[in-house]
Structure 1
């Protein structure tokens, strides 16, 4: 009997089955081959599945927060505080419903989901918050607006919230207040207030928490705008252990001023400047933090050193000395910062060459009026306080008074309403030059921020003008030093020579600079990105470390403690022509002041360049601290000139300078210490934080702080037996060294000079983890 042929439908079914079997078999074979060839991908996928399953379980909830938990408020400032925190995004705040802004109260499920993946949840106490007390804040400073503490109205808000945090009786209390404030008000302003509170907190446990450095959580202040797209791409596509650092390119212009990018864009120059103004606020703060001894004089000295070093860099790059600001003329140079304000998602406004301030009529009129008043004060010889009392202008004390007057310090100016606000008003109005009557509703310019103001060439025009005003006082009221009476307090001590030697070099008085790259973890400032570290690679000026050597003879019969003062003086202008002696004196660069003990007879005094009282150890800021005392020191001892900028860059053929050394009596010159002193790092520019004394009783910049006596035509005319001079040369080696190994804690590679000036290679500086 013939077999029955399969129907059409059966044929179709059989065909489909065969194809399916073949596809499954092929898939299995391909899968096996893939797993064999790519075992890590298979493991990674399994791990991800297990992690997703784990997130369905309830995370651990703390019994209570610790002071260290305050640091999570600094993470990703543009994200709401209930988003995942920490480098690994595995910590969350359990925010009380009452704290949430109205829009999030109707999205509680989403808020809870946002913290579901956390391995640790910090319980935020629910307290009654004084919303009425701060009802005006968002009108004065909208949530997404750019913030700068250099604007007095904004600084006043910072102070209000600092007082609010300072009312806390416990860590739990301050955490609750900070979380609530961070949700409702401008995050940058709140974090500024929180930092201020943590530095000044009456709670020891809070002062023992390491406060992050600005570049770590607000990197937009220090990188270019294109950095963020590259960093986010790296973070979203590459796993944390394999991400490459993203290079920060700040040499972005083609104008002649752009060759100075390494100086004006140096991140720690701006961090230092910002910290100085935190420690010495321009008013609007409690008087105990503003009315500090010699504050006005230190303001003069700090900004003169800025201007001196800027001029030195200009000369080595073929540019003339900086000109003083003239508000009646167009601004000679524009500036385009190529920065972005992440919190407000706006770019930072630039300024064209030739912009003018003349449309700002009230500003120009006030500026002229206040300078005329200052000149009248110099003629009459006294200032008059608001209560009608008068104070004669005498020596350095008078300089301190007129400095506070010219700055426009609302707390320590003799009469702010009358004498005005020359310095601060220039900074406040310079950003308006691009849009004087606010037609285009542009955001704040770079000169609006203390954190970035010195990026703009006009910053130095302002401070050249200010220094001209200070110099008028010095010429009229400071008597020149006489050689015997003022400059030779130690007749039994003779300084026969001074020299410098680069470590490892044979030839003395030859110094060298180069560029160094440093990797810094900026992941906590990259909002809405995956977990893990992301490094920014900065390029900055560096020098090979060197040692000073002084030959000193003491005819005394017992040991004598002395102060050693070191300066670097410019010799040539941008064309190689000799500089005027008074210019060299006025814009001398202070390198160090330190004490040494001389034995009877001949002495050799040596001092490492990295020990300078001008600079700080920039690595110590980022290294993991071992104990509470070290952390407290890290927080307070961060104000000082960057070590990498200790020397001017010099030129390829070598730029000549003169090194001046002076030895004075320690017992006469040293100020008493205060029990509240924490450290004296970087004290030449920053003073001693917590002290009621500047360490040196002499005028800041002594003996070059005032015009020379009549008849002095060369530096050798000024030399006394306790002074010595040497010709030195700074040569720029046009090379860029790769980053060093990672510092302890993984936040950064080294910012400090190394003995050899060379590293083991680019690969050693590539961060992993």
Structure 2
């Protein structure tokens, strides 16, 4: 990590100020005055793309989405206006212009549209590189917490009602929010068992931030660095999501994700019990609900796209806009297919292959037909920071990944020679006892209730339990016949399938998730390798809440403390990598693999959100990215280690610590 300069700290503070209570911009008098006085089109020389400014001004004069309305990036008119604002922010020639433009938009543009465009701009704008954004739940508490919690926050602040709150050491109003509604009001009993995972706040937010980092509408390299392996990353991320979700189903004794058919009722319902900021209820869906009539045209389009995907995968060819075709039975084919199915801006033929995921989210979410382009009520499926909550999201991911698995089945299988590491053998793998538990965390939701004035510093937090696990250590013994470098990967997967039969790693390679990977210096003879679960660069701690973070920045600006810029601004919560398990223990297994390492064989992966990493210049998920023609566990340089995950009460964990 690098020590932050005062200039960086001031920028960090200003970004938070510009996102603070966007529904009440007057509460920041200095920014409000700046936004009122700034004339965005007066000096076009302040922007490197003057046409972008002219377009935004034309849209604004014509009439954009008004303040107070619900914004959705899944609506083409909303997205067009948000992109126009983003472009003006991005093309600001200096940070001063960037802030003035944001201050103007904070007053004159729809709140949701402003937050989205400004957030994407902060991530991409060179002068705000590695600046942290507030958590989404802090900006939109009503979308993460049930109506009951929001009402309690309102009563506790305005009426000093202490009956449903608890005391806090920092003076915050704490509202308990654990299982406050019966399962029948939310989802099926089976899905209710998984709410601690599917409704985990930071798990959903990491998904949101990843979408901010690489929006589906943005071409790679158009704004900032090229996004490498975009289509491949799309599949890899969904694979990890799906495999991790299935492990939680194993832990709770649930069966396989149910398939669905566009011609039949949707099997799983979902009742969010939440409202948008303007009081409109977030759409719900009942179990075995028939698809609404106004979605029938979209269903026809979805079926057509699915036929096109199947044709492309089975034939091995995709068609470009100029009527030429391209083979996808190549190393880069996964990249082409991923972009095509996501329907992102790098798709080889968006006119033909469309945007499958966008359409599917629209249909499955059961959002009502818009009364007009500025009167939409998006479903949970149409909000990136929330869609993991809906059971049908996982059914959709399963369907998308079925195309991936079908595609790789046509690729040449790995041979023993492809994956072997001559003269290197993993002799043994041991791991400490793996134990999970639930602990409490307080989420800042002050924005759920309007502030009385600029001096209103009332803190309101919602307390939920979250899944966590004790730190554990891998103990790996490697025998090498020479001094050399290796690259060691650790994957985790189930021991048994949903039919309680022991899984075949060769066939079920996609059920394993990558936990850690790093370079190791192997000496001649026996090498004892110890690695803590907390050392992985792929995961990290949950971010501190914005009230705590803002105070840290203030102290750092005055020189009281030192703030170090994190190497990886956003990472998946380390506490969530291990599934819940059970008191008696649920069997899983680690797959450990070591392969040759050389600096020239490494790929430098750059991400505006997740930092820079060096990874093997091989397919993501190697060597578990596709099938092999032998039992991969038989490799001398691989090892399959069974272990159990035990779930304990937090008090039991504390006593044994």
1:309 corresponds, among 237, 240, 244, to 244
Q: How does 1:411-422 map to 2 (within 5 A)?
A: 411-422=345-356
Asked if 1:76 is matched to 2:76, the reply is no
Tell me what 1:246 maps to.
175
DSSP 3-state at the match of 1:396? coil
Asked if 1:95 is matched to 2:33, the reply is yes
Tell me if structure 1 keeps the 8 A contact 2:437–2:650: yes
Q: How does 1:74-153 map to 2 (within 5 A)?
A: 74-79=19-24, 81-82=25-26, 84-85=27-28, 92-93=30-31, 95=33, 128=41, 133-136=56-59, 141-153=65-77
Tell me what 2:493 maps to.
569
Tell me if structure 1 keeps the 8 A contact 2:516–2:538: yes
Give distance in 2, aligned partners of 1:276 and 1:648.
22
Asked if 1:512 is matched to 2:435, the reply is yes
Tell me if structure 1 keeps the 8 A contact 2:40–2:104: no
* Closer, same or farther: CA 653–76 of 1 in aligned 2, 3 Å: same
Q: How does 1:3-22 map to 2 (within 5 A)?
A: none
1:538 corresponds, among 459, 464, 467, to 464
Tell me what 1:191 maps to.
115
Deviations 1:135-169 (A, max 9, x none): 54585633222223344543333221122123334
Tell me what 1:496 maps to.
427
Asked if 1:616 is matched to 2:540, the reply is yes
Tell me if structure 2 keeps the 8 A contact 1:68–1:209: no
Give distance in 1, aligned partners of 2:208 and 2:422.
42
Stretch moving more, 361-370 or 242-251: 242-251
Tell me if structure 1 keeps the 8 A contact 2:593–2:638: yes
Deviations 1:332-366 (A, max 9, x none): 11001122222x23221211111233732221211
Tell me what 1:704 maps to.
624
2:143 corresponds, among 217, 221, 238, to 221
Tell me if structure 2 keeps the 8 A contact 1:660–1:724: yes
* Closer, same or farther: CA 178–467 of 1 in aligned 2, 3 Å: same
Asked if 1:361 is matched to 2:361, the reply is no
* Closer, same or farther: CA 383–132 of 1 in aligned 2, 3 Å: closer
Q: How does 1:324-403 map to 2 (within 5 A)?
A: 324-342=259-277, 344-357=278-291, 359=293, 360-403=295-338
Tell me if structure 2 keeps the 8 A contact 1:210–1:632: no
TM-score normalised by L of structure 2: 0.84
Tell me what 1:265 maps to.
199
Tell me what 2:644 maps to.
729
Deviations 1:533-580 (A, max 9, x none): 222212110011101110011111x3x221111111212345644446
* Closer, same or farther: CA 615–153 of 1 in aligned 2, 3 Å: farther
2:227 corresponds, among 280, 284, 292, to 292
Give distance in 2, aligned partners of 1:578 and 1:78.
54
Tell me what 1:523 maps to.
446
1:551 corresponds, among 473, 477, 493, to 477
Tell me if structure 1 keeps the 8 A contact 2:138–2:446: yes
Tell me if structure 1 keeps the 8 A contact 2:633–2:639: no
Tell me what 2:382 maps to.
448
Q: How does 1:751-766 map to 2 (within 5 A)?
A: 757-758=653-654
Tell me if structure 2 keeps the 8 A contact 1:71–1:211: yes
Give distance in 2, aligned partners of 1:207 and 1:293.
18
Tell me if structure 2 keeps the 8 A contact 1:335–1:456: yes
Give distance in 1, aligned partners of 2:431 and 2:612.
34
Deviations 1:440-481 (A, max 9, x none): x872111110111111000000010001111111111x2111
Asked if 1:594 is matched to 2:523, the reply is no
1:487 corresponds, among 398, 401, 419, to 419
Deviation at 1:581, TM superposition (A): 5.2
Deviation at 1:620, TM superposition (A): 6.6
Tell me if structure 1 keeps the 8 A contact 2:227–2:607: no
RMSD, aligned CA: 3.3
Tell me if structure 1 keeps the 8 A contact 2:120–2:213: no
DSSP 3-state at the match of 1:395? coil
Deviations 1:145-196 (A, max 9, x none): 2223344543333221122123334444333322221212211111221122
1:323 corresponds, among 258, 262, 266, to 258
* Closer, same or farther: CA 287–242 of 1 in aligned 2, 3 Å: closer
2:405 corresponds, among 471, 474, 481, to 471
Give distance in 1, aligned partners of 2:371 and 2:503.
43
Deviation at 1:627, TM superposition (A): 6.7
DSSP 3-state at the match of 1:346? coil
Deviation at 1:132, TM superposition (A): 7.8
Q: How does 1:664-679 map to 2 (within 5 A)?
A: 664-667=595-598, 670-673=601-604
* Closer, same or farther: CA 292–366 of 1 in aligned 2, 3 Å: same
* Closer, same or farther: CA 596–463 of 1 in aligned 2, 3 Å: same
* Closer, same or farther: CA 587–151 of 1 in aligned 2, 3 Å: farther
Tell me if structure 1 keeps the 8 A contact 2:505–2:633: no
Deviations 1:729-755 (A, max 9, x none): 00111x357xxxxxxxxxxxxxxxxxx
Tell me what 2:341 maps to.
406
TM-score normalised by L of structure 1: 0.73
Deviation at 1:371, TM superposition (A): 1.7
Stretch moving more, 250-259 or 609-618: 250-259
* Closer, same or farther: CA 580–364 of 1 in aligned 2, 3 Å: farther
Tell me if structure 1 keeps the 8 A contact 2:489–2:517: yes
Tell me if structure 1 keeps the 8 A contact 2:381–2:393: yes
DSSP 3-state at the match of 1:565? strand
Larger Rg: 1
Tell me what 1:742 maps to.
none
Tell me if structure 2 keeps the 8 A contact 1:656–1:729: yes
Tell me if structure 1 keeps the 8 A contact 2:268–2:391: yes
Asked if 1:653 is matched to 2:584, the reply is yes
Give distance in 1, aligned partners of 2:55 and 2:324.
41
Give distance in 2, aligned partners of 1:528 and 1:341.
18
5+ residue gaps, structure 2: 1-9, 43-52
Tell me what 1:280 maps to.
214
* Closer, same or farther: CA 208–525 of 1 in aligned 2, 3 Å: farther
Give distance in 1, aligned partners of 2:118 and 2:655.
39
Deviation at 1:404, TM superposition (A): 0.9
* Closer, same or farther: CA 276–345 of 1 in aligned 2, 3 Å: same
Tell me if structure 2 keeps the 8 A contact 1:149–1:450: no
Give distance in 2, aligned partners of 1:553 and 1:494.
5
Tell me if structure 1 keeps the 8 A contact 2:444–2:545: no
DSSP 3-state at the match of 1:695? strand
5+ residue gaps, structure 1: 1-64, 86-90, 101-123, 502-509, 679-685, 738-755, 762-769
